[in-house]
Amino acid sequence: METAAGEGGVLRLYRGNRLEYLSDLIGHLLAREPLSDPFACEQILVPHPGVGQWLSLRLADAAGICANVRFPLPAGFIWEQFRHLLTDVPEQDRYAPDTLRWSLFQELERAVEEPLFEPLQPFLQAQGMAGRFDLADRLAHLFDQYLVYRPDWILHWEGGRSAVPGDDWQAELWRRLVARLGDGHWVRQQQRLFLAAEQGRLDPERLPQRISLFGIGALSPGYLETLVLLSRWIDVHLFLLDPCRTEWMGLVTAATRERRGQQAPAEAPYLEVGNPLLASLGRRGREFLAQLQAHDPGSVELFHPAPGEGLLASLQRDILELRDPTAGPPSTLAGEDDSIRILSCHGPQRELEVLHDQLLDLFERDPRLQPDDVLVMTPDMELYAPYIEAVFGASGGDRRIPFHLGDRPGGAGQPLVAAFMALLELPAGRFEVDRLLQLLEVPAIQRRFGLGDGDLTPIMAWLREAGIRWGWDAAARQQEGMPAQAQNTWRQGLDRLLLGMALPTGGERLFGGLLPAGGVEGADVRLLGALGEFAGTLSDWSRRLQQDRPMAAWHDRLLALLADLFAPDEQEEFQLQRIREAIAAVVTEAEAAGTGAAVPLELIRRILQPRLDEGGGGFLRGGVTFCALVPGHSLPFPVVCLLGMNDGSFPREQRPSGFDLMSRGRRLGDRDRRDDDRYLFLEALLSARRCLIISYSGQDPRENTELPPSTLVSELLDYLGQGYLLPSGEPVTDRLPQRHPLQPFDHRYFDGRSGLFSYSTTMAQAAQRALSPDRRERSFLAAPLEQPGDEWRSLDLEELGRFFANPVRYLLRRRLGLELEGVAEELESRDPFQLDREDERRVGERLLTGLPLAQVRELERAAGRLPHGAQGEALLARARESIRPLARRLQEQDLFPGDEWREFRLRIGGFILSGRLQRLRPEGIRGFTPLQLPASRLFRLWLRHLVLNAVRPEGIATETRWLQCEGVVRFPPLDDAPARLEQLLACYWDGLVRPLHLFPRSSLEFARGVQQGKEREQALKRARQCWAGEYARWPESADPHYAVAFGDRDVLDQAFMHLSEACFGPLLAAMEEG
């Protein structure tokens, strides 16, 4: 199309099916016809900033440089022309949704009690100020759509007339907005522009010399009319991606043809389907072409058939030539072809894992392909972003594929943004310990308080020891509707930790109502101070953020928050700058609307969240580009991938607001979300040059049931299955979609027969282990570790007890330094509700020693362990009642522990065992527990008894008696204690070089069965019930250290039986119970 629309200007349309050829053409235009003013800026309108970035790179590649070129979006560009050509046009459009919502926010406050606005009452009365702002935001976007697509309604309303039935309250609300803001909105500015043009009052010198539109697939009628008007004075070039070279305006889908043919049979012969995919997916493109043709019927064509004989090229040529391969005999592909790959997986993570291998396969087959040649799009970036970073970020070595996220939703990959939003949630929360610790994991916050990653481990231990759960102090708990108790608050916990540095811990004495908490050594003073400063600063800010403020005051307050909490490095500074810019933008919008009212923090948070969620990733920054599937992202790439093409996920559902009057009747040019998504899918099909990969969650990861793909993928599969055959004569859908197994180590990936493949050597080894007949015999350690140094031969009695409590855990932690992630107990942010087993033991022992109930209550409450209120009182009362029989027996048998203790140092078999024997009386070791001794504590008692008999302290008998809830455990004097200790120390030494098959609970059960005269197999059966019994609340095998050391091996073997008898057999032989 080349239309002289007026003196000095030309409107030109360029239609082509490949953006790269259109970009070459615009490059030739800029080189062949440079602007007359060398300092003037070239204006190229684009639908999305990413298109501008891609085009600038293309122009720079062709010309060596791309300078003095702007890539504005259409709406912003047209507003700029209003300002250049007309008078009294504000710099910022006060009717733009982000600004208009503030004016609506104020108007809605007035409307609460007015009968006219009764449809809005549920939103205005029940949801507070934040709910009112949400409603204002929705209405602002709705009015923006009216301005663009229903300008006649706007004019009717401003003229005091109704536009459509039921528009009374919207019309009145609009009139109030105009009264507040004036009539300087888009519709009136366009009227002024057209009137000035008719009256010859426009100054063409104020226009740019040339405008180009590139890759824009839709414009509202008003925008298009404005650009056509400008073409009277300047050249306007439209570079349009058109999938089909022939006339396709009249296409209808097969379903539409059938329906309309039944309604009007005479029309049926004139209803053309053409290419079924183009008819089904191309409605948005057809309508935009119709809009353009209303201004001129001709065009300049730059159509190029896709080269090659593969399935992808054939599909693209079908659409270009309006060919329907399903109308006749199917075409047979010339050879094996993988240019279209459709993958059915078990959920998002498997989609990413499979995609990673697919890309490695493409790179291996075609060395010319690079990661920069791959574009991956998904309709749900928020869902897929964590999996992208987990899968592509974790792959190293030869399997590493560089990548970047062009969109980072929800603060993904931006820890400072996420931390800032978490800080804004503090006043609405309860100051929970786990939430504050998450903030302390942010490096920029750590630097601010002089902390490092290595400091978090002791801090977690201190917080747990101090019993901190939630709330800064008793007053904060009272504000949450709880009793004003300091127990489990930050203030009390920090005070306990400080007190524990100066006073003895572990006792039963309170100081000023506080129980000193242990764990903080002298060298930790700085660290504890930093923790206190961090918690105090957050408490202060939580209070300071609670007060409502005008937007200008919020600006200053939030910038102060950033300065007070973050110490960013050079790479993190850009995240803080994004936050500052977002804060400044929302304040500017509010001020433009004349908003001066004080607003709450909740409203600030709701406004900032979506703004900070936008973008932030950067587009085309090298490596594989991951981005959202939105208009403007379907750019030509050798490899295009679509993730998450699930049923119900794409096309995305469009649920118009009940207030949306446009939903009652559609007009040409109206935007429709589902039509937009269908056209996006078509653009993606056409933008791939070498390979198109589509994946979806086609199998449920839990039940393995089949799940359907998006209806668009189903349409594509139907089209390919009816139109194309493999060289073998089978439909291509016999191989599409390719269904992938649940696990990446499935043997089918490595058997060379299934057509599946994997590049992961780790998964290959896992598959080999799974298939190996001796897989259960493989060990965590291929060979025993080297013998430890001689320093390991000197240990105290408590250390030896820790070893026998769990030899495998001891080996992994102490010898290998392996702390299993997730094994450490998570910090609990809820108040205690029950006493755990250790708490019950402690309470019972204190009551048995004669401490008054009130003192026990005070101690447990000061330690933060006792449940609050009546629940705690009930548990104490129950504990007191439960130990009454035990107390009588304790008195009768005189088993109270003594006050004496003895230091010892034994040389046994090359070892030095030292420590302190406690709870001694002249009669020997005496003690009690209100519960039954578990296997590990029973073995510790056995070790103490052996040491007592080896040391034989003067004035102390060598007998041990220990009262438990079901009787008394007695160990008599022994003559061979040193030899038995030497045997156990040898076991300890062996356990330092390899994981032992010694498990206290199961081993004790086995040894007890043997001691009772049972057959070894029968005793082993009892041990298995303890090890992995299905009825046990916590089977011993559930300890994750065992999973690391042994995998799925059967560890209750001959070695287990031998060690169990060697270690627990002598204990049981000596032990008397009664």
**Range with the lowest mean pLDDT among 402-406, 476-480, 757-761, 778-782?**
778-782
pLDDT score of 458 more than 50: yes
Check if the beta carbon of residue 111 is closer than 8 Å to that of residue 173: yes
**Range with the lowest mean pLDDT among 5-19, 766-780, 1029-1043?**
766-780
Q: How far is CA 138 from CA 132, 164, 293, 545, in A?
A: 10, 20, 34, 27
- Three-state SS for 290? helix
- Residue 668 CB-density burial (10 A; 0-12 exposed, 13-18 middle, 19+ buried): exposed
Could you tell me which residues are beta bridge partners of residue 739?
344
- Three-state SS for 927? strand
Question: Which spans in 991-1046 are helix H?
Answer: 1000-1011, 1016-1028, 1040-1046
Residue 21 CA to residue 323 CA, distance in Å, equals: 23
CB neighbour list of residue 740: distance below 8 Å, 6 or more residues apart: 343, 344, 345, 346, 350, 354, 756
Residue 252 CA to residue 248 CA, distance in Å, equals: 9
Residue 671 CA to residue 145 CA, distance in Å, equals: 9
Tell me which H or E stretch contains 836.
none
The predicted structure's pLDDT at residue 621: 80
pLDDT band at 680 (very low <50, low <70, confident <90, very high): very high
Check if the beta carbon of residue 479 is closer than 8 Å to that of residue 429: no
**Range with the lowest mean pLDDT among 295-309, 821-835, 986-1000?**
821-835
The predicted structure's pLDDT at residue 617: 56
List, in order of start, the domains of the chain with CATH numbers: 2-87+198-303 (3.40.50.10930), 97-183 (1.10.10.160), 415-613 (1.10.486.10), 832-897 (1.10.10), 900-1073 (no CATH)
**Range with the lowest mean pLDDT among 275-284, 883-892, 1006-1015?**
883-892
956-985 burial, b at 16+ Cβ within 10 Å, e below that, comes to: bebbbbbbbbeebbbbeebeebbebbbbbb
- Residue 431 CB-density burial (10 A; 0-12 exposed, 13-18 middle, 19+ buried): buried
Q: How far is CA 364 from the centre of its chain?
A: 32
Q: Which of 256-265, 503-512, 819-828, 989-998 has the highest mean pLDDT?
A: 989-998
For residue range 44-59, list pLDDT tens digits in order.
999 998 899 999 999 9
Q: Of residues 447 and 889, which shows the higher confidence score? A: 447
Phi and psi, residue 483, nearest 5°: -60, 150
* Token pair 């910038």: residue: 559
pLDDT band at 271 (very low <50, low <70, confident <90, very high): very low
**Apex CA 712: angle with CA 707 and CA 715, to 5°?**
95
Mean pLDDT of 257-268: 54
Q: Which amino acid is at 423?
A: L
Residues listed for the chain: 1074
Q: Of residues 248 and 731, which shows the higher confidence score? A: 731
For residue range 662-671, list pLDDT tens digits in order.
988 888 888 8
Mean pLDDT of 684-713: 94
pLDDT score of 776 more than 70: no
CB neighbour list of residue 1015: distance below 8 Å, 6 or more residues apart: none
The predicted structure's pLDDT at residue 822: 44
Could you tell me which residues are beta bridge partners of residue 970?
961, 1072
Whole-prediction pTM = 0.76
Preceding amide of 651 cis, omega within 30: yes
* Token pair 């031998």: residue: 1058
Q: Of residues 88 and 1047, which shows the higher confidence score? A: 88
The predicted structure's pLDDT at residue 2: 46
pLDDT > 70: what percent of the chain?
89
The predicted structure's pLDDT at residue 4: 41
CB neighbour list of residue 559: distance below 8 Å, 6 or more residues apart: 580, 583
Residue 81 CA to residue 142 CA, distance in Å, equals: 24
The predicted structure's pLDDT at residue 3: 44
